[in-house]
Amino acid sequence: MGKISLQKVEKRFGDVSVIPPLDLEVEDGEFVVFVGPSGCGKSTLLRLIAGLEDTTSGKIFIDGADATQLAPAKRGLAMVFQSYALYPHMTVRKNIAFPLKMAGVPQAEIEEKVDYAARVLNLSNYLDRRPGQLSGGQRQRVAIGRAIVRSPSAFLFDEPLSNLDAALRVNMRLEITELHQNLKTTMIYVTHDQVEAMTMADKIVVLQAGVVEQVGSPLELYHRPRNIFVAGFIGSPK
Ligand code: ADP
Ligand code: MG
Name the residue among 184, 165, 191 with its Cα closest to residue 82: 191
Distance 44 CA to ligand 1 centre (A): 6
Distance 120 CA to ligand 1 centre (A): 34
Averaged pLDDT in 10-residue chunks for the chain of 238 residues: 96 96 98 96 97 98 97 93 83 95 95 95 95 91 93 94 85 92 96 94 97 96 94 72
Cβ of 52 below 6 Å from ligand 1: no
What does the pLDDT look like over 62-90, one tens digit per residue? 999 999 999 999 999 999 876 678 999 99
Q: Whose CA is nearest to atom 20 of ligand 1?
A: 44
Query: Could you tell me which residues come within 8 angstroms of residue 237 by beta carbon, excluding any fewer than 6 positions away?
Result: 194, 195, 198
Q: 195-199: long-range contacts at Cβ-Cβ below 8 A with a sequence spacing of 24 or more? A: 195/237, 195/238, 196/33, 196/35, 196/161, 196/169, 197/33, 197/35, 197/234, 198/222, 198/234, 198/237, 199/173
Asked whether the beta carbons of 2 and 63 are under 8 A apart, the reply is: yes
C-alpha–C-alpha distance, residues 101 and 138, integer Å: 22
Cβ of 43 below 6 Å from ligand 1: yes
| Four-point Cα dihedral 204, 208, 212, 214, nearest 10 | -50
Asked whether the beta carbons of 67 and 76 are under 8 A apart, the reply is: no
Q: What separation in angstroms does the CA of 20 have from each of 13, 56, 142, 212?
A: 11, 10, 35, 9
What does the pLDDT look like over 159-195, one tens digit per residue? 988 878 888 889 889 999 999 999 999 999 999 999 9
φ and ψ at 184, to 5 degrees? 55, 30
Cβ of 37 below 6 Å from ligand 1: no
Interface confidence (ipTM) of the complex: 0.98
Number of Cα atoms under 13 Å in the Cβ half of residue 46: 27
Burial class, 29, CB count within 10 angstroms (exposed 0-12 / middle 13-18 / buried 19+): middle
C-alpha–C-alpha distance, residues 108 and 4, integer Å: 32
Q: Whose CA is nearest to atom 19 of ligand 1?
A: 44
Query: Could you tell me which residues come within 8 angstroms of residue 159 by beta carbon, excluding any fewer than 6 positions away?
Result: 43, 82, 190, 191, 192
At 238 the pLDDT is 45
At 92 the pLDDT is 97
Sign (positive/negative) of CA torsion 86, 87, 90, 96?
Answer: negative
